[in-house]
Chains A and B, each alone.
Chain A
Amino acid sequence: MQNPFRNLKLDQQTIVAIIFVAIFTVFSIGLSGFFSVGNLLTLVRSVSVLGILSLGMAIVVIGRGIDLSMIATLAVASAVVLMLAGDGYRPELAVLAGLIFAIAIGMTNGFLVAYAEIPALFTTLAVGIGVAGLGQSGLFEYEIVAWPPELNVIAWIGRGTLFGFPYSIMAFIVTCLAVHLFLRKTRLGLFVYALGDNLDAARNSGIPTRPIIMLQYVLAAVIALIAGLVLSASSSSMDTRIFNLTWIYDVILVVVLGGIGLSGGRGGVMNVVVGTLLIGTIVNGMTIMNVSFEAQKLIKGLVLLAALLSDSILNPRNEETAKQGDI
């Protein structure tokens, strides 16, 4: 049978974008108060942290890795900043210490994956548990670290608005631009695609693959710290228990849903944006409709499943397109 959509090139990003537009339109028509500037800003703001995190994850996934330690990095590195500033260290010193902490986590991940050649899944899972454990073993007085007033000089990244436009959305947009420029306009970014697509070929053509793998994880960790600072500024505290929640799956979901394959070498910033907006729209609409927590989870799961299913129907995999070593 002829595929009627054959000339339309419906890849997963397009499918998700279509679903997003469809849901968005239905909500705009059927849900009073959904389509207003205020609500749309709220919508994007509520997913901006998720979006920022997903950008970090995207870099790693494009390079054919995965970073399960991002939530732990987000929580502990930013809690370190909060704690140091609360203890009287100067804000810039506290942020610097958090940055060094995050980079150290990223380098640990990168070193173990690139040089010790332990699979990324296990490495980052273990490092994440380790980092979270470090946070829980008495580094902080309470698991929920309050935002200290000393750090109010940078509180705008999560709280403030510029002409009514929230800074947290701007943080997302700026991170989007930076990651886009890195991936598409720098040589290092192109190398990430190259080694994600075919590690051996990349190595044979002279790309320094191991340092670039390390760089991916360092970038992911630094982006996680940025997300953590936005999140903690926004809710005035950092709850280091979030490592135990299912956030990391949401992050992977946004990345995969947007169409960045876990097999590496494909996708970009637009995929993350589309995936993030779809999740944000679903959650926002259901909150307005006062749908219960359980039903929200169910509906979210069904929509995501539908998106992934339609992709595998329209773009079937076979021996040619499938690659070995998929996660």
Chain B
Amino acid sequence: MNFRKMAMVTAAIATMAIAGAAGAQQSINDPARDDHYAGLKGRKVVFVPVFMGLDLTEGWSEMMSRQAKALGYDYEVRNSNFNTAAGAQTITSLISEKPDVIVVQNPDVQSYARLLKRAEKAGIRVIQLNMKTNILTTGFVGADVIGIGETQANAAVAKCANADTPGKVLILAGPPTSPFSAYMLRGYENILNDNKGIEVVGVQSTGAYESAKAKSITQVVVQQHPDLCGILGVWDNTDIGTAAALSEAGLSDKVFVSSSGGGGELACKGIRENMWQHYVSYDVPGQARDLNALVSAALQDMSEISSTQTILYTPLVEYTPENIDDQFCWTLDNIR
């Protein structure tokens, strides 16, 4: 056998060996997969929002129902229609229905607290969403509201602070006992209280986040303080009224407005149409992803209820006229 033949035979054997090895490669089942899906089948998650029909709640709910479909558990919405008593009633009846997980958006820091404790005692894991009551349960997903307040206030300081004639700032809050008022005010105070360059000329509630109320308060205050420098608003939908008042008074270019919300199309429209010049987004798509992770974890968790209590504060995103083109201005059609 000469060298050439030997080389060819070697090559042939090597080829066959490789082919043989490839043929021997076997598929393996993911050992966790079947149990995982089987374990989720027939489980039940119920969402108790303050109100459906808002970009926030519809966005969260869309994402939750998608995951439920993908993982094969049941998902249901029980709308409390901006009625705290109805919401409490819903949770009470859920305690006897015993779903596996309740996702709840609290209208205020107090009302549901005891009920949520009772639900966890009854064996239901409770995840609080964006609006937090004053007790902790299995999980909380949502904005660090004090952080939103601080971010907004810092933006106002950058725009308005002036040591000689303090820049006048108006604060438009939500319902007094809502987490989005009480905590947010704390955030504002953290930044503004010690700042000599800022004068807070008013802290007013817009009732139940009413844009008409925001508008009439803004109208009164700009009458009183024509040199108003900034407005810190509680929520984009409410601040439509704030912006309308300023635009009617011809002050849209003079008064700096900072708002906040879920960062959807309204947020971007507001920046583009000069309704507000600063916006703190709590990024509903990102928040929904955190929420889904926590729901999934709660469904798989075998340990004693509330033995771990996880807080996931959503990373906040600041929208400004400079960076608005880089933002994902989500809608219900393109949320992901």
Q: Residue of A at shortest CB range from B174?
A: A293
Q: Residue of B at shortest CB range from A47?
A: B216
Contact of A245 among B207, B219, B266 (CB under 8 A): B207
B176 touches A293 (CB 8 A): yes
User: Is B53 located at the chain interface by the 8 A CB criterion?
Assistant: yes
B202 touches A242 (CB 8 A): no
Contacts of A39 in B (CB 8 A): 220, 223-224
B224 touches A288 (CB 8 A): yes
Given contacts A39-B223, A142-B55, A159-B248, contact A234 B212 (CB under 8 A): yes
User: Is A284 located at the chain interface by the 8 A CB criterion?
Assistant: yes
Contacts of A136 in B (CB 8 A): 52-53, 81
Q: Which of B109-117, B236-244, B321-329 contacts A (4 or more CB under 8 A)?
A: B236-244
Contacts of B243 in A (CB 8 A): 236
A290 touches B216 (CB 8 A): no
Q: Residue of A at shortest CB range from B57?
A: A143
Contacts of A36 in B (CB 8 A): 223
Given contacts A142-B58, A237-B240, A287-B204, contact A245 B210 (CB under 8 A): yes
Number of interface residues of B (CB under 8 A): 38
Contacts of B215 in A (CB 8 A): 234-235
B201 touches A290 (CB 8 A): yes
Contacts of B211 in A (CB 8 A): 144, 235-237, 239
Contact of A236 among B208, B219, B244 (CB under 8 A): B244
Contacts of A239 in B (CB 8 A): 210-212, 237
Q: What string of 1s and 0s marks CB contacts (under 8 Å) between A72-99 and chain B?
A: 0000000000000000000000000000
User: Is B203 located at the chain interface by the 8 A CB criterion?
Assistant: yes
Q: What string of 1s and 0s marks CB contacts (under 8 Å) between A44-79 and chain B?
A: 011001000000000000000000000000000000
Contact of B219 among A46, A143, A242 (CB under 8 A): A46
User: Is B271 located at the chain interface by the 8 A CB criterion?
Assistant: no
Least CB distance from A268 to B in Å reads 27
Contacts of A287 in B (CB 8 A): 202, 204, 216-217, 220-221
Q: Residue of A at shortest CB range from B216?
A: A46
User: Is A42 located at the chain interface by the 8 A CB criterion?
Assistant: yes
A142 touches B54 (CB 8 A): yes
B204 touches A49 (CB 8 A): no
Given contacts A141-B332, A245-B210, A292-B176, contact A235 B82 (CB under 8 A): no
User: Is A244 located at the chain interface by the 8 A CB criterion?
Assistant: yes
Contact of A143 among B51, B207, B216 (CB under 8 A): B51
Contact of B54 among A38, A143, A235, A283 (CB under 8 A): A143
Contacts of A42 in B (CB 8 A): 216, 219-220, 223
B205 touches A292 (CB 8 A): yes
Given contacts A287-B221, A288-B220, A293-B204, contact A144 B237 (CB under 8 A): yes
Least CB distance from A184 to B in Å reads 31
B205 touches A293 (CB 8 A): yes
B224 touches A294 (CB 8 A): no
Q: Residue of B at shortest CB range from A296?
A: B205
B223 touches A235 (CB 8 A): no
Q: Residue of B at shortest CB range from A285?
A: B220
Contacts of A140 in B (CB 8 A): 53
User: Is B89 located at the chain interface by the 8 A CB criterion?
Assistant: no
Name the residue in B82, B205, B224, B266 with the highest tally of chain A Cβ atoms < 10 Å from its Cβ.
Answer: B224
Contacts of A294 in B (CB 8 A): 176
A234 touches B82 (CB 8 A): no
Least CB distance from A240 to B in Å reads 8
User: Is A266 located at the chain interface by the 8 A CB criterion?
Assistant: no
Least CB distance from A125 to B in Å reads 15
Q: What string of 1s and 0s marks CB contacts (under 8 Å) between A97-112 and chain B?
A: 0000000000000000
Given contacts A46-B219, A144-B54, A241-B82, contact A235 B204 (CB under 8 A): no
Given contacts A290-B202, A293-B204, A293-B205, contact A142 B219 (CB under 8 A): no
Q: Which residues between 189 and 231 of chain B lie within 8 Å of chain A, taking CB atoms?
A: 201-205, 207-208, 210-212, 214-217, 219-221, 223-224
Measured CA separation A79–B246 after assembly (Å): 23
Measured CA separation A36–B223 after assembly (Å): 9
Least CB distance from B37 to A in Å reads 32
Least CB distance from B62 to A in Å reads 12
User: Is A176 located at the chain interface by the 8 A CB criterion?
Assistant: no
B81 touches A244 (CB 8 A): yes
Contacts of B244 in A (CB 8 A): 159, 234-236
Name 18 interchain pairs, CB-CB below 8 A, sorted by A.
Answer: A33-B224, A36-B223, A38-B223, A39-B220, A144-B54, A144-B211, A146-B266, A159-B248, A235-B212, A237-B240, A241-B51, A241-B208, A244-B208, A284-B220, A288-B220, A290-B201, A293-B176, A294-B176
Contacts A136-B52, A143-B51, A294-B176 known; 16 new A-B pairs at CB < 8 A? A42-B220, A45-B219, A136-B81, A142-B55, A142-B58, A143-B54, A234-B244, A235-B212, A241-B51, A241-B82, A241-B208, A284-B220, A287-B204, A287-B216, A290-B203, A293-B175
Give the B-binding residues of A (Cβ under 8 A). 33, 36, 38-39, 42-43, 45-46, 49, 136, 140-144, 146, 159, 161, 231, 234-237, 239-242, 244-245, 283-284, 287-288, 290, 292-294
The 6 closest A-B pairs by CB, nearest first: A143-B53, A293-B205, A46-B216, A235-B241, A244-B82, A235-B211
Give the A-binding residues of B (Cβ under 8 A). 51-55, 58, 81-83, 175-176, 201-205, 207-208, 210-212, 214-217, 219-221, 223-224, 237, 240-241, 243-244, 248, 266, 332
